[in-house]
Amino acid sequence: MIEQLKISELLDLNETIAAVFFEGCTYPWEVLAKIKDGIRKLGATLSEEEYDKRGEDVWIAKSAKVAPTASIDGPAIIGRDAQIRHGAFIRGSAVVGEGAVVGNSTELKNVILFNKVQVPHYNYVGDSILGYKAHMGAGSITSNVKSDKTPVTVNTGEEKLATGLKKFGAILGDHVEVGCNSVLNPGSVIGRNTNIYPLSMVRGYVPAGSIYKKAGEVSAKR
């Protein structure tokens, strides 16, 4: 089970500009503490022909579309052909991948969105990593702090893995689909190509290639 939680089992690092952040890490949540400084180092190396630097530590690809009503605090990197739509709020420490969509009233904080990720309507994504072509339906959010404020663990069903993190939302593997108005509780890890039903409350690890209906009702895709 622990093997399935490794970076190599969840994410295609060829689909993010932030691949260097993952060096030396085994599990994806280990990367969360490296995002802020990693962006500053990576941003300083980006081509001025492809990226504009705006404000303090914000790099935006010239081909990206950013609505004038969007708010972007640094450090942040907005990749090629990304869309930052009306009313989006990027609070800093965010990498938005190529062709990704950050929609109206969506808030990001300490995140990596791989290429082609979509968080297009009323989403909160904090202290999380979303893999290639992952999609969060309208109103779905990551909850990144436990109510008792204790460190987050990842529940595999067989054991609980300590992360040492007080803030850790979710890891979505490549091609994950999250249904509308779902809540991903702290420490949720969703395997590749999995579908989460709308209105779900998810906790712990959901295997790759699954359909998650509710706790205890998870079936393999056919």
- Residue 221 clears pLDDT 90, i.e. is over it: no
Q: Is 175 a catalytic residue?
A: no
Average pLDDT value for residue range 157-162 = 89
1 pLDDT more than 70: no
Overall number of domains in the chain: 1
In the chain, what percentage of residues exceed pLDDT 90? 92
User: How high is the pLDDT of residue 70?
Assistant: 97
Selected catalytic residue, list 86, 121, 135, 175? 121
Global pTM value = 0.97
CATH code of the domain containing 99: 2.160.10.10
Query: Per-residue pLDDT tens for 63-111?
Result: 999 999 999 999 999 999 999 999 999 999 999 999 999 999 999 999 9
Q: Which residues of 43-59 are buried (b: 16+ CB within 10 A; e: fewer)?
A: beebeeeebeeeeebbb
- Tell me, what's the pLDDT at 53? 96
CB of 65 closer than 8 Å to CB of 78: no
Instruction: Give the domain extent around 84.
Output: 2-220
- pLDDT exceeds 70 at position 25: yes
